[in-house]
Amino acid sequence: MKRINDFGPGVSGLGSLDGLADPSFSQAVVDWQRSHGRHTLPWQNTTDAYRVWLSEIMLQQTQVAAVLGYYARFLERFPTVHALAEAPGEDVMAHWSGLGYYTRARNLHACAKRVVQDYDGVFPSDPALLADLPGIGRSTAAAIAAFSGGVRAAIMDGNVKRVFARVFGIDAYPGIKPVEDAMWRRAEALLPETQDNPGAIEAYTQGLMDLGATLCTRSRPDCGRCPLQDRCVAFATGRTAELPVRKPKKSTPEKRTAMLVIVDGGQVLLEQRPQSGIWGGLLSLPEVGGHVPMEEDAEPVCTSDVAAAAGAFGQLDEVRALRPLVHVFTHYKLHIAPFAVTLASRAQADSHYQWWNMNQIGDAPLPAPVKKLLLDLAMPSLFT
């Protein structure tokens, strides 16, 4: 069997990519997937582009186990792209709440509207047209086209990058554009031919995903069961722990905010956040001062500050500090200081504020840490 371990000058694993079409590579992946890959996930065994698209968006930067429940509930509420396109935005956000990366939900809704408006509710089969829709990048477009229509298109998600980096001994960070571009060229060169091999592109695409998710994992890869072991540079050189090269570390910025848990008559006051930015489009708790860099605001928010801010919503009865919590975003760490505020009487709030019954708070489109905070606090002694 052909062994690829010398790629010419430049970064190891990224020399000349000419003539790298290797049918034995793709066939090894196809054969393994058909015998050992995943076949029972709820979005498999269908050519329904809507269901494939929904699963691919949900699976971006999210583990399968976390997606399963959301996928089922989402389909129950929005069974078709038309149903999703016609739904109110807050309903979409409520069904996404807790899954994280909320820009995906906003793009999902916008994409459904585009598909209905521009394509009469039928997803295009051309990856280039798919990639032009909101929230669908090149790799996701290829996956949708491959799984729903058998289109011969290359994917390049995190799992595939890890498999390629190890198999071909790529010793540069895959997030660098020249490295990523070279990996894309390799991915296209290695696509299986579909003539006289029905289902090959679907099995190959799923196989690469499955290998990265189940065998070629970040830690403790199961090389003994990998169909690519005999051609894997990382395995042959004892570098599976080193490849792929990790992103250069940067210090994580830390910010702080104070949140107001304002309650009155069994209801809690929620604020509609702007469509853009952190938690865009969701409801959340009113904040004091926003997300302030800790180095610029060494003094924590005090009870008197909270009382002054909460006073805009009514006559105060009690203000008390709750246990602080920390939430980690992709780009920074947020230290949250929550304060419970009970009102003796409420004032008229602006239109972007809403009073929610605490016994319905589980249905509110809230960020995961805010929903957890409110559910943990939902006790008669506080909210009645």
The label of the residue with tokens 């005090």 reads: 302
Other beta carbons within 10 Å of 40: 6
Residue range 134-157: average pLDDT? Answer: 97
Closest of 338, 282, 348, 364 to residue 315, by C-alpha: 348
Banded model confidence at residue 9, pLDDT cuts 50, 70, 90: very low
One-letter amino acid of 71: Y
User: CA of 164: how far to CAs of 33, 40, 62, 383, in Å?
Assistant: 17, 25, 20, 54
Task: Find residue 324's DSSP bridge partners.
Answer: none
**Topology (CATH) of 23-236:** Endonuclease III; domain 1 (1.10.340)
Q: Which of 56, 76, 296, 299 is catalytic?
A: 56
Asked whether residue 7 carries a pLDDT value surpassing 50, the answer given is no
Banded model confidence at residue 381, pLDDT cuts 50, 70, 90: very low
SS3 346: strand
Asked whether residue 8 carries a pLDDT value surpassing 60, the answer given is no
In this structure, whether the domain defined by 254-383 belongs to CATH 3.40.190.10 is answered with: no
Encode pLDDT of 185-223 as tens digits: 999 999 999 888 889 999 999 999 999 999 999 999 999
CB 138 within 8 A of CB 97: no
Lowest mean pLDDT among 140-149, 235-244, 368-377: 368-377
Banded model confidence at residue 298, pLDDT cuts 50, 70, 90: low
Q: Where exactly are the structural domains of the chain?
A: 23-236, 254-383
Asked whether residue 3 carries a pLDDT value surpassing 50, the answer given is no
Rounded to an integer, what distance in angstroms lies between the CA atom of residue 300 and that of residue 337? 9
Helix 158-167 × helix 177-189 angle, to 10°: 80
Active site residue 56: yes
Closest of 267, 260, 375 to residue 321, by C-alpha: 260
CB 203 within 8 A of CB 191: no
% of the chain beyond a pLDDT of 90: 78
Banded model confidence at residue 336, pLDDT cuts 50, 70, 90: very high
Asked whether residue 2 carries a pLDDT value surpassing 50, the answer given is no
Per-chain mean pLDDT for the chain: 90
Asked whether residue 6 carries a pLDDT value surpassing 60, the answer given is no
Is omega for the bond preceding 244 within 30 degrees of 0, making it cis? yes
Asked whether residue 382 carries a pLDDT value surpassing 60, the answer given is no
Encode pLDDT of 58-93 as tens digits: 999 899 999 999 999 999 999 999 999 999 999 999
Task: Find residue 14's DSSP bridge partners.
Answer: none
Banded model confidence at residue 361, pLDDT cuts 50, 70, 90: very high
DSSP string, 251-275: PPPEEEEEEEEEEETTEEEEEEPPS
Asked whether residue 10 carries a pLDDT value surpassing 70, the answer given is no
**Residue 92: HSE in the Cβ half-sphere, 13 Å Cα cutoff:** 25
Residue range 342-358: average pLDDT? Answer: 92
Banded model confidence at residue 374, pLDDT cuts 50, 70, 90: very high
